[in-house]
Amino acid sequence: MLVLLAGIFLLHILVIVLLLIATIDNAWWFTETMSTDLWNRCVLVNGACNYTGLPPNYPQEYLQAVQASSVLACIFSILGLLVFIAQLFTLAKGQRFTFSGIFQLISCLCIMIAASIYTDVFHRDDVGWYGHSFILAWTAFALSFVSCLIYFILRKKTA
């Protein structure tokens, strides 16, 4: 059981790292001359990155929803890890990991909402490609969902 708990802990840490990289890194959308993330845009000028604000044609309501959902996913995942550690020592065996699973489910839904809105609203007619932060956001969604399922399954374990 100790190896299983260590594996779950490492999976949760991996999800947090992926969420933080996806939220912070400047690599959601690329073209030949620029890269864009949720917060600003990097335009290549003479081989140097010139950070500018996001273009004014971005729908601000959707952009704020993506930003807020990404940040909330990070917060809920970190809270889930803290609750996981606290539940190991405080709750009875039949009640463990319920709150951790709930926090991971909320984190999973938040990053799914952020990535879905970004996919649907931004860069529909632009020429370019999605960057590694966008891919990491979807990967974090899948891994946080798996983590959530593991927490709910382990809740019933008595050993």
Instruction: For the domain made up of 2-29+59-154, give the CATH fold.
Output: Butyryl-CoA Dehydrogenase, subunit A; domain 3 (1.20.140)
pTM over 0.85: yes
pLDDT at 159 over 50: no
pLDDT at 124: 82
Place of tokens 């984190």: 107
Q: What percentage of the chain exceeds 90 in pLDDT?
A: 55
Structure tokens at 110: 């938040």
Domain regions of the chain by residue span: 2-29+59-154
What tens digit of pLDDT does each residue of 123-152 get? Answer: 888 888 999 999 999 999 999 999 999 988
Q: What percentage of the chain exceeds 70 in pLDDT?
A: 94
What tens digit of pLDDT does each residue of 36-67 get? Answer: 889 999 998 888 888 888 888 889 999 999 99
